[in-house]
Amino acid sequence: MGWPILGTLPQMGSLAHRKLAGLATSLRAERLMAYSLGAMPVIIASHPDTAREILCGSAFSDRPIKESARLLMFERAIGFAPGGEYWRRLRRVAATHLFSPRRISDQEGLRQHVAEEMVRRVWEEMEEKGVVEVKGILQEGSLRNILEGVFGNCKGSEREELGNMVKEGYELIVKFNWEDYFGFKFLDFHGVKRKCHKLAAKVKKLVGQIVEDRKRRREFVRVEENENDFLSALLSLPKEERLGDSDMVAILWEMIFRGTDTVAILLEWIMARMVLHQDIQSIARQEIHMCIGQRSHVRDSDIPNLPYLQAIVKEVFRLHPPGPLLSWARLATHDVHVDKLFVPAGTTAIVNMWAITHDSAIWEDPWAFKPERFMEKEVSIMGSDLRLAPFGAGRRVCPGRALGLATVHLWLAQLLHSFVWLPVEPNVGVDLSECLRLSLEMKKPLHCQVIRRSQLYEACN
Ligand code: HEM
């Protein structure tokens, strides 16, 4: 359907997840819809059954690669590498040395340290300006957390430079490039390719230099037992598994790129909901207080005892999934049937997770913010239940999901334990408008006020 040659490209607009959900409902095509984006054939699933067939079946194990992603080196990293031996090796290395339960638990101190730093920054901003803009604080915390997990200590100047590169990469990867849809190499009207080349060169230089410095240091200094960052692990791999220098740069850069914004964007939505629903915030704070008492720091081991806090995170994933279209599509590597319909090799498949999580046939009262729904029944968000799969599912499910969740839970608990979060003006709501870029962000950054927990208790007594 759609225009000649252009297909449905002109109709997509800025909130494609909503447009596509509306189309699927009006055409009664929730299970499967087919259309063209330029010259690219696409199918889209807005139902858990067809979503499972796409995400968990073997036919869709590749991803269509955008020119910008290829130029930014992601083709040699996990996310866009074709699903063969090289991709399996990368996933295995990352699963063992960055995302294993032991690695995640080793990094608890870092997560707590960054949480403390964020609490300090929130209070400073409140005292200086009388209002807190959380987005910048969360982004900085997230960047620091991932950089130290990946590189160990990182110099302030390097951190700033890498942060700017991540921002620039985000801008470029979402820029519209006609070539992605029509395959003609001369259609780069926006200069995306030129800018990607420039950025990739900067990344190679800086990340390459960090790798070189570390290699040199390891020649002279004995590897410290507690050197447990991802770069050290990559350099310690046995010879037959070791990655070449440029592949190592690609995977390190990918982790920084993906690990920074997803967590910050999700937490901004959660804090917006906390400001908007004071009653729910207060129940969550009571739960935290009951669990950790007078202690000032929340620990990872407290999280299993905070079911309401976990339910809040799930409810935000449901209403504001950071990847409403799961961010990265899949590509059919061979002819296949989905829902008994023939899908030729080379078709791009998209899952509209946002449509599924807002479907009234699946969720009771789907537009209401009700964490309680997850207290009543257990719903896993790790990829086994396609009614709510914000990390995708199947062989290409997000490998960073356990790390991402450990970070979000700990930081949310610490932020709620430290402050009461309030709207800037009493009785004025929070603007929940969306902006879909690579992730689904808040269109207007959240501004709010905080009161220290200690002040609250003084006032109560
Ligand atoms: C709130 C946090 C996060 C969300 C919502 C999220 C979401 C996603 C989604 C939807 C996918 C596509 C899955 C699919 O196709 O089935 C994905 C893939 C991926 N994510 Fe995440 N992610 C998060 C955090 C992270 C973190 C912290 C990292 C790394 C530090 C990471 C690294 C990756 C990688 C490497 C892939 C590609 C996997 C592959 O193609 O084999 N993610 N993520």
Confirm whether residue 398 is marked as ligand binding: yes
Q: Would you say the CB of residue 446 lies under 6 angstroms from ligand 1?
A: no
Stated as kind and residue range, the H or E segment containing 348 is strand 348-351
Per-residue pLDDT of 234-286, as tens digits, reads 999 988 888 999 999 999 999 999 999 999 999 999 999 999 999 999 999 99
| 327 Cα: distance to centroid of ligand 1 (angstroms) | 9
Strand 348-351 and strand 40-45: pairing? parallel
Per-residue pLDDT of 172-181, as tens digits, reads 887 655 556 5
As a 3-state breakdown, the chain gives helix, strand, coil percent values, each rounded to 5, of 55, 10, 35
Q: Which CA distances in Å does 101 have to 43, 104, 401, 403, 451?
A: 36, 5, 11, 9, 35
| 263 Cα: distance to centroid of ligand 1 (angstroms) | 11
What the block records as the tokens of 448 is 């709010």
Closest approach atom of ligand 1 to CA 383? 16
Closest approach atom of ligand 1 to CA 265? 1
pLDDT of residue 170: 85
pLDDT of residue 187: 55
Q: Would you say the CB of residue 248 lies under 6 angstroms from ligand 1?
A: no
pLDDT of residue 173: 80
Residues forming a β-bridge with 391: none
C-alpha 259: how far from chain center: 7
Phi first, then psi: what are they for 33, rounded to 5°? -135, 140
At which residue do the structure tokens 């220098």 appear? 245
Q: Cβ(39)–Cβ(183) under 8 Å?
A: yes
Nearest Cα to 51, choosing from 396, 380, 387?
A: 387
Q: How far is the C-alpha of 302 from the C-alpha of 121, rounded, in Å?
A: 24
Looking at residue 397, the DSSP 8-state letter turns out to be S
Intra-chain end-to-end CA distance of the chain, in Å: 66
Helices 245-276 and 134-151: angle between axes, nearest 10 degrees: 150
- The CA-CA-CA angle for residues 207, 137, 167, to 5°, reads 40
At which residue do the structure tokens 């739960």 appear? 287
Looking at residue 458, the DSSP 8-state letter turns out to be H
Q: Is 34 strand, coil or helix?
A: strand
Q: How far is the C-alpha of 307 from the C-alpha of 4, rounded, in Å?
A: 52
Q: How far is the C-alpha of 227 from the C-alpha of 87, rounded, in Å?
A: 26
pLDDT of residue 177: 56
Number of neighbours of residue 158 by Cβ within 10 angstroms: 16
Entry pTM = 0.93
Q: Would you say the CB of residue 147 lies under 6 angstroms from ligand 1?
A: no
pLDDT of residue 310: 98
Regions in the chain scoring below 70 on pLDDT? 1-13, 175-190, 222-226, 455-461
Q: How far is the C-alpha of 4 from the C-alpha of 39, rounded, in Å?
A: 10
Phi first, then psi: what are they for 50, rounded to 5°? -75, -30
Q: How far is the C-alpha of 423 from the C-alpha of 406, rounded, in Å?
A: 27
Question: Ligand 1 test: best mutation among 97, 99, 391, 396, most atoms within 8 Å of CB?
Answer: 391
pLDDT of residue 176: 58
Give a three-class secondary structure readout of 158-212.
HHHHHHHHHHHHHHHHHCCCHHHHHCCCCCCCCCHHHHHHHHHHHHHHHHHHHHH
Query: What structural domains does the chain harbor?
Result: 9-460 (1.10.630.10)
Q: How far is the C-alpha of 452 from the C-alpha of 417, rounded, in Å?
A: 9
Q: Would you say the CB of residue 398 lies under 6 angstroms from ligand 1?
A: yes
pLDDT of residue 249: 94
Residues forming a β-bridge with 37: 7, 40
Closest approach atom of ligand 1 to CA 55? 16
pLDDT of residue 274: 98
Strand 132-133 and strand 40-45: pairing? unpaired
Looking at residue 396, the DSSP 8-state letter turns out to be G
